[in-house]
């Protein structure tokens, strides 16, 4: 439903399931994202990303370090994306200097997705992160609701990452469409 509504990137995040189940789900998502010409990222797990032919991996501050991920790929990334979660401007600068392809920045708003979230940065903090990141795309993360989309786009975010705003509503297609709307009218 999210893909049908305009989502063009899916991140598979599963910290609880056994590896065989993760592989099965990630492969199913790979097929689904290909059908919609969308990007598939795997959260935290470079090996799983390679196994299912994902488009990249997203790493948190406590996961595999960026330099180690780049080294593990042997310098031959061939378009394999590496994104990094960032929560302050020092982390933004380090991730950009280290060669991250994109940054997740936040939480922009209070979030219930994480048990111990980092401090809320707000839209002004997001705008500062976008400015600090320069040409590196920044994705707004944390507590994102569909009604935030225009403000996040206006702050300079290249995209927004939402979980509850899509998964906990009846009209998932409509929610995804509303969330994606500010970014869907870019000039090619």
Instruction: Give the active site residues.
Output: 13, 85, 114
**How far, in Å, CA of 35 to CA of 51, rounded?**
19
Which residue, among 47, 6, 48, has the nearest Cα to 29 in the 3D structure? 48
Backbone angles phi, psi at 113, to 5 degrees: -75, -30
Burial class of 133 by CB neighbour count within 10 A (0 to 12, 13 to 18, 19+): buried
Helices (H), 134-171: 149-154, 164-167
- Here the tokens at position 41 are 């990222």
């Amino acid at each position: 439903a999210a893909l049908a509504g305009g989502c063009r990137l899916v991140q598979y995040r599963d910290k609880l399931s056994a590896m065989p189940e993760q592989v099965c789900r990630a492969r199913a998502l790979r097929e689904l994202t290909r059908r919609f010409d969308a990007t598939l990222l795997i959260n935290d797990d470079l090996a799983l990303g390679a196994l299912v032919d994902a488009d990249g991996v997203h790493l948190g501050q406590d996961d595999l370090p960026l330099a180690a991920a780049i080294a593990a790929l042997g310098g031959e990334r061939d378009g394999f994306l590496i994104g990094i979660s960032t929560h302050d401007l020092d982390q933004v600068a380090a991730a950009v200097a280290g060669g991250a392809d994109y940054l997740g920045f936040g939480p922009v708003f209070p979030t219930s997705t994480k048990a111990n979230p980092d401090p809320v940065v707000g839209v002004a903090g997001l705008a500062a992160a976008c400015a600090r990141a320069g040409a590196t795309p920044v994705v707004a993360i944390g507590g994102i609701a569909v009604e935030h989309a225009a403000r996040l786009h206006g702050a300079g975010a290249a995209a927004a990452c939402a979980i509850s705003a899509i998964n906990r509503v009846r009209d998932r297609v409509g929610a995804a469409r509303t969330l994606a709307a500010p970014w869907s009218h870019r000039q090619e």
